[in-house]
Amino acid sequence: MTNEKELSGHIQDSIAFLAITSTNFLKLVRNFVNTELFSSDVVHIVMRACYKYFDLTKEAPGDHICDIIADEIKAVPESKRELVMLFLDRVSQMREPNVEYVTSKLNEFVKSRTFQMAAVEFVKLIDHKRFTEAELLMYNALKSGVHSLNVGCEYFTDFSTMYKHEVDASLTAMGLAHFDCYKKFKRSELGIILGGYKGKKSFALHHIGIQSLLRGLSVLHVSHENSLEICEQRYDRMIGSLVDEKDRDIAVPVRYYDHTSEKVEIVMKKRPCVSDVNERKKARATLRRFGGRLIIKKFPMGSCDMRNLETYLDHLEQFAGFVPDVLLNDYPDIQKPLDSSKQSRDQLNESYIYHKRLADERNILVVVPSQATRAAIRAKRITMKDFAEDVRKLANCDWTIAVCQTDVQASSGLGSLYIVASREGVMDVGCGIVFNLETGHFATDSFPLRSGVLVAEEEDSDTGKDQ
């Protein structure tokens, strides 16, 4: 009898990795996860060896795993020994997995497999009219799983979360000094990039993708609007400083912010164009060295709802061994609704709640762009009141960052980022940023805001109007 909730290859590898390297993980699963539940003989052997070592030492085997496995596989056929050693070699090259997500998937698997096995035995007991034993069997099956997931925080005895502030829990950031001092991004968060029409929201999403890849993270970028070609080119341009022109090596203005004079300096530089295949390959090779992975998926507009997106995530995990740390979804406002019979604002609210659930359940960072009202176009400051369609988006997210740019700022290639809302940390703060869209960069520098005035040129311009 097969189990509908089989563990993917990536999750099985991750379980083995954690059993080998993490004492805390073994403490969590030792008494609740029977090695007989794993359909893979190799995983069964590795987990059994880790359990034996843990029972003796109360520690994970770590570097001793090969010695332990050597004893464990003496009695198995030679062909299976080779498979075990190849498995260990593959696992040893993994980077540390998303522990909370792996544990969650393991918990689902244990519950499903235990209940399935108990159901077969339950029928036999009922046939023999052994009702008390049958009742006890199903009671224990329903309690199966990694119990600590369901207990919650024992307030008077569990002090583990008190020490989290001593460790930087951030996953990624904007990579801008004057913004990162206010806000960094964590797992299980739903973030919104808010802006007007053509307000550089998608560029901001790509920028977060690049910053995450520079930190060695796995990124899934989903587009419902821009084509796959545009998305690829934007990543190539951002990392390679490529221009979006047909001619090769043309001179383009590159802006710098002089923090002493508080003025924008422009230098004309020759840069390769995005049609140069070798330069694009070079850019990707540079980014690949940091160890992250990037998958870009384009769905036809209006064809993909949140259930389809979740199915796609499961498909990537099952068949590509890809579990993202960061999901960039561009963008929910134009996705196919979950229930087309509802009003549009209720459809959006349902979609954003679904996004937050994905962030929580998969322990990943989810970032989406969202449309601001027409009044917010070219506004110096975008606020909570400027959410288009449904302000409940604000209640469903963990933070909202607004991309703002006035006409005067646009002429200088400047803009600003504001923290409109945040469950943790400060709000109503931000910084100025320097755009270099000619070379594909959303923001290349940041600087502090002074009383809401970005640059001296804007202040002078406003003064001149009054005169």
| pLDDT at residue 452, as a whole number | 43
| pLDDT at residue 61, as a whole number | 94
Calculate the CA dihedral of residues 461, 464, 465, 466 and round it to 10 degrees.
130
pTM: 0.80
Contact (CB, 8 A) for 387 and 195: no
Token pair for residue 201?
Answer: 């929201």
| pLDDT at residue 305, as a whole number | 94
Give average pLDDT by consecutive 10-residue segment, the chain, 467 residues: 61 90 89 79 90 93 90 83 89 86 84 76 84 75 53 66 62 95 95 88 96 96 95 95 77 88 88 91 95 96 93 90 95 90 88 94 94 80 77 87 90 91 91 93 90 45 42
Give 125-182 as a DSSP string: HHHTT-HHHHHHHHHHHHT-S-THHHH---TTT--GGGGGGGS----B----HHHHTT
pLDDT in tens, 329-386: 998 989 999 988 888 888 889 999 999 999 999 999 999 999 888 777 778 888 788 7
- Nearest CA to 350 among 359, 358, 341, 339? 339
The domain segmentation of the chain, as residue ranges, is 9-151, 177-466
Cα 112 to Cα 141: distance, rounded to the nearest angstrom: 9
Mean pLDDT of the chain: 85
Q: Strands of 399-404's sheet, edge to edge?
A: 293-298, 218-223, 326-330, 365-371, 190-195, 399-404, 414-422, 430-436, 441-448
| pLDDT at residue 163, as a whole number | 56
| pLDDT at residue 462, as a whole number | 47
Give me the residues paired with residue 192 across strands.
368, 400
Exposed, middle or buried: residue 293 (CB in 10 Å: 0-12, 13-18, 19+)? middle
- Nearest CA to 223 among 253, 250, 202, 238? 202
Q: Name the CATH superfamily for 177-466.
A: P-loop containing nucleotide triphosphate hydrolases (3.40.50.300)
| pLDDT at residue 176, as a whole number | 96
| pLDDT at residue 451, as a whole number | 43
| pLDDT at residue 112, as a whole number | 77
| pLDDT at residue 283, as a whole number | 95
Cα 186 to Cα 322: distance, rounded to the nearest angstrom: 19
**Alpha carbon separation from 315 to 267, 308, 321, 322, 354 (Å, rounded):** 47, 10, 9, 9, 18
